[in-house]
Each structure stands twice: as structure tokens, then as C-alpha cells.
Amino acid sequence: MNSENPDKSWYRQYDEEPLFPKHEVIKTLHGFLDYAGYSLLPEKPVGFMKPDISAVCKDKKKKDEIIFVVREGVNEAVEGFRELAAAKCFRHNKIDYVLALPPVSEHYLIEFLIEQEEWFFPIKDHLFQLWLVNPEKDKVDCLIGWPRNDDFKHYFSNPNLVGFSGYIANKATQKMMDEEF
């Protein structure tokens, strides 16, 4: 049990130090969303939670809305996805739900998603997205999931990173098959 913080004793804690503070990730996301044609919405609660960022793009006769929960690392990811799940209780599948993190250890991320923990399929099942935001390089990438607005492919710094999701899905499926047989 995690004696320092009993609320976090039920999932693994990684030995990580945040590369960037939350406010820098938010600032970078603001610039990225503006560049991609999105407008920031006023801060207001969505059900039981209050997103760090809400944005909308009104284009081509449809409205694409995204809410973001921004956290500083893998250790805060479960809490971030819990916040998104709370919002989804109220908005259902009408908007995009994104957990945004600064660059994190690939090793810790893989452990979190499929090896030590098993969060990948619940994240995919709920259509949540995981974006990595690098304030130093002013880059944003979608690692898991994909926005409803397919035009984002023109704005992410490396759209091929979405292949990471396929890699994780294959490893997770293989792990499940190995456990069954």
C-alpha cells in the first residue's frame, strides 16, 4: 500500500519527474488549438468535473468540441481518465475527450497501458484520446484514439505516432491470448 498517499495505493506509481508543469502544457495546447482552427470555450463544469480546456471548431456545417484534462505524467493518468469518464456521463459520445500529458517515459507508458496495468482497452472502449504535448518543441501528437475532426492529421507534428496504438493493441491482444491458453 502507498503510505504517502493512500488514494493512489490501488494502482502503480512510477518513478517519474514531470518534464513540464501543467500550465506550460496548457499554454502549448492553446496555441495548437488556435492554429488548428479551434476557439477556446469559457471554463465551466461538465457534469461532475471541470475540464482544463474546452474548445470548439465550427466548420463545414458541423461543430466539433473537445475537452481536455491536463496532467503532468503517467502517475496522474488514471485520475485524468477518471475525470474524462465523469464528463462522459453527461456529454456521452457527442464530444472528444482528451488526456494531455507532457512527454513521458515510453517504458512507463507501455507498462501503464498493458504490462503492469491494463488500461489500454478501457481507454479505447470509451473513445478517450491520449495526446503528448511538448512545450519546449511546441509539438502536439495524438498517441491513442483520434479526434472526430479528421483535419487534425494536418496539425499533429507526427501523425504516424497513431501507429503506437496499433502496436499496443497487438501486444495487449497477445498478452490476453497468452493468459487464456
pLDDT digits (tens, 9 = 90+) for 22-76: 999 999 999 999 999 999 999 899 999 999 999 999 776 788 999 999 999 998 9
Whether the pTM exceeds 0.75: the reply is yes
**Per-domain residue ranges for the chain?**
6-180
Q: Please list the residues that pair with 68 across neighbouring strands.
A: 53, 98
> What CATH number matches the domain at 6-180, 3.40.50.450, 3.40.640.10, 3.90.470.20, 3.40.50.10670?
3.40.50.10670
Instruction: Output 135 or 162, whichever has higher pLDDT.
Output: 135
Q: Phi/psi class of residue 21: alpha, beta or left (left: φ > 0; alpha: ψ in -120 to 50)?
A: beta
Contacts of 111 (CB under 8 A, 6+ apart): 12, 14, 117
pLDDT digits (tens, 9 = 90+) for 93-111: 999 999 999 999 888 888 8
- Dist. CA 33–CA 126, nearest whole Å: 23
* Percentage of the chain lying above the pLDDT 90 cut: 53
* 8 Å CB contact between 143 and 161: yes
